[in-house]
Amino acid sequence: MKRIVSMVAMVCIALGSNAQSTQETDTIKVGNFVIIKKKGSEENTTGTSKSSRDNYNLLRVERRPAKRKNLSTNWWILDLGFANMRDNTNYGFAQAGSYFKTLRPQDGPVNENSYRLNRGKSSNVNLWFFMQKLNISKNVLNLKYGLGLEMYNFRYDSKISYNNDPAPYVFNDSISFSKNKLYAGYLTVPFMININTTPDKRKGFSFSAGVSAGYLISSSNKQISAERGKQKEKADFYMEPFRLAAIGEVGLGPIRLYGSYSLNKMQKDITRVEQFPYAIGVRLSTW
C-alpha cells in the first residue's frame, strides 16, 4: 500500500513540473530591442485552454538603450556658412604705412570702402576630416576635437587689389571686377567642451564651446574683369600664419548650427590693418 501511495505522489510531482514548464519564457535580443515570449498556453477561469488567438498578449517587445561608447568618431563633416569680418582699422594710421599704396591719384587711397564686402556671397566652407567625442562624465559632459580644413572666401564689392611684388601691398585698381575674392584656407584643430542633455537619444539638445587653432596653408586674390579676364595672385599678402578662434555649436535634433570668431587679426602688424573674421552656418553632422 505504501508503494502505491509513493508512486501516485511521484506522478503528481512530475505533472506539476510539466505544467510549470509551459510557463517558461523565451528572450530574443535584436539590436536594441528585446522580445519576451511565454511558452505554452494559459488556462482561463473555467479550466480550459485559451486558443492561440487569445495568447497574443504573451508577446512583449521592450526597447533597451544602446550601450554608450566612451569614444565615438564622426568622419567627413561639412560646414556651409556665411563669412564676414569686424573691421577695427584706423585708416588714417594705416595709410601712413607702406602696405596701402595709391598708384593713380584718380583711384584714391585705400580706405574703409575699399574693403567693402558682398555679405551674401562671402562664404565659409569647412571640411572636417574627422571629429571625436570623448566621454568625461556619463556621456553628458564630453570633449570634442578633430582636424579639418577651414576655407574663407571674402567677396569684395570694390576695386581693391592685392600685389606681392616686390613686397605685399594693396591698392585701389583702375578697373571694375565682376568677381573680386580673397581666399584664405587654414588647417585647423578644434577643441570643445560638449554638453549633451539627452545622451540616450540622437535627436536631443546639445551645445559645445571652445577654441580652434589654425595654420594658413593657402591664400590668393582671384579677380575676373572684362579688361583682363580671369586672374589669380597667390601669396600670403602679410597675413598671419596662425589663427586662434572662439568656436561654438548648437544641436537640436538633426539641425546643427556652428559659429566661429577670430581672436587675432587676419593680417600682420606691418599692414596696420585690424580685421577679425567670423562665420556662422549649418553643420552637416550626425552628432
- pLDDT tens track, the chain, 287 positions: 555 445 445 544 444 444 444 445 566 665 555 666 655 555 554 555 555 445 545 566 666 656 778 999 999 999 999 999 999 999 999 999 999 999 999 999 999 999 999 999 999 999 999 999 999 999 999 999 999 999 999 999 999 999 998 899 999 999 999 999 999 999 999 999 999 998 888 778 999 999 999 999 999 999 999 999 999 999 999 999 999 999 999 999 888 999 999 999 999 999 999 999 999 999 999 88
Q: Domain containing 55: what range?
A: 2-63
Statement to judge: residues 8 and 87 lie in one domain? no
Cell matching residue 185: 584656407
Statement to judge: residues 151 and 186 lie in one domain? yes
Distance CA 261, CA 254 (A): 24
Statement to judge: residues 51 and 99 lie in one domain? no
From 12, 30, 63, the end of a domain falls on 63
The answer to whether 182 and 221 have CB atoms below 8 angstroms apart is: yes
From 41, 63, 85, the end of a domain falls on 63
Q: What CATH number corresponds to the domain at position 76?
A: 2.40.128
Longest pairwise C-alpha distance within the chain: 132
Statement to judge: residues 47 and 87 lie in one domain? no
Task: Supply angle C-alpha 240, 100, 232, rounded to 5.
Answer: 65
Number of domains in the chain: 2
Statement to judge: residues 122 and 80 lie in one domain? yes
Statement to judge: residues 26 and 156 lie in one domain? no
- The pTM of the whole model exceeds 0.85: no
Statement to judge: residues 38 and 106 lie in one domain? no
Statement to judge: residues 53 and 142 lie in one domain? no
Cell matching residue 179: 568677381
